[in-house]
Amino acid sequence: MVALNIPSALRALLATAMASALQSGWPNVSSDNVWGTVADCSIAGFVPQFPAGQTQLVVPTDLQPRFIGLAFGVQNYTCSSTNTYTNVGAYAEILDLSCYVNASWFNNVQYPAYQAWTNVSRDVSIATVIDFIHFVNPPQNLAQHYFVPNPTTGSGLSPKWDFTSSGKFNGNPNAYVIGKVNGTLPSPDNATDDVAWLEVLKVEGDIADEVFRYDTVGGQPPSSCTYGKSANISVDYSAKYIFYGGSLS
């Protein structure tokens, strides 16, 4: 757990990404306990905006949206024998946006969040950010996103969204979802720079039955690398995640 002497760069990140980006929703961060209190609102009627005509991402009609969050963190890559980068997971913090889906700034909030994160990520790791957020534990602390061994085969990696240390699900061992990708849509905004939008189906866990990643910014690796010479890399990104279904309330 981090100490109270939080790096100034981390404070700047939190102040920008969680206050300026979310404008009047959350107050400016100037001390360890000056945080907004609005989180965990119903989004039952919310519909994410996906490009018309595509069939890769299909919003379920039999499940209600339960949570929506703004993520910032890194996509991790290793150089493969084909001299291209292969994704080997991600690590991100997810902040609760459920009370702000009707705000005028909601549709574009991922851009200032990404800019704030990239401004300081050279000096502050995503692990440090997550430790600090856990220390302060604001209501907007929704979940963490990372990868774990595939629970079905035991080999390879699967995405996990972990709510077990956040908010009302703190300490609930079933408050997570591990999934498998069911649909992939290249970013309609900038497929070269921004990671794809995804539809993910539950494999294990009770927090959700389906997850979508969309409104991505950043996260794509360089187009080539040199196998055996290029180091593993982490690429900054931000995105929205929306969670459908689940058996926890």
Output the pLDDT for position 14: 55
Q: Tell me: the pLDDT tens digits for 183-211?
A: 999 999 999 999 999 999 999 999 999 99
Output the pLDDT for position 113: 86
46: pLDDT confidence band, cut at 50, 70 and 90? very high
Question: Is residue 65's pLDDT more than 80?
Answer: yes
Contact assessment for residue 208 and residue 202, using Cβ atoms and an 8 Å cutoff: yes
Q: Tell me: the pLDDT tens digits for 162-178?
A: 999 877 898 999 999 99
Based on its alpha-carbon atoms, the radius of gyration of the chain, rounded to whole angstroms, reads 17
Q: What is the largest CA-CA distance in the chain?
A: 51
Interhelix angle 126-136/8-15, rounded to 10 degrees, is 70
The residue whose two tokens read 């981390």 is: 10
Interhelix angle 110-120/8-15, rounded to 10 degrees, is 170
Of the listed ranges 7-21, 63-77, 192-206, the one predicted with least confidence: 7-21
Position with higher pLDDT, 210 vs 10: 210
Q: Which residues contact 43 (CB under 8 A, 6 or more apart)?
A: 65, 66, 67, 68, 98, 101, 242
Output the pLDDT for position 55: 96
Rounded CA separation 6/1 (Å)? 11
Output the pLDDT for position 64: 97
Contact assessment for residue 163 and residue 145, using Cβ atoms and an 8 Å cutoff: no
User: Is 0.95 topped by the overall pTM?
Assistant: no
Rounded CA separation 226/140 (Å)? 41
Of the listed ranges 22-31, 32-41, 221-230, 238-247, the one predicted with least confidence: 22-31
Which DSSP state fits 143?
E
Rounded CA separation 219/202 (Å)? 23
Mean pLDDT of 70-83: 97
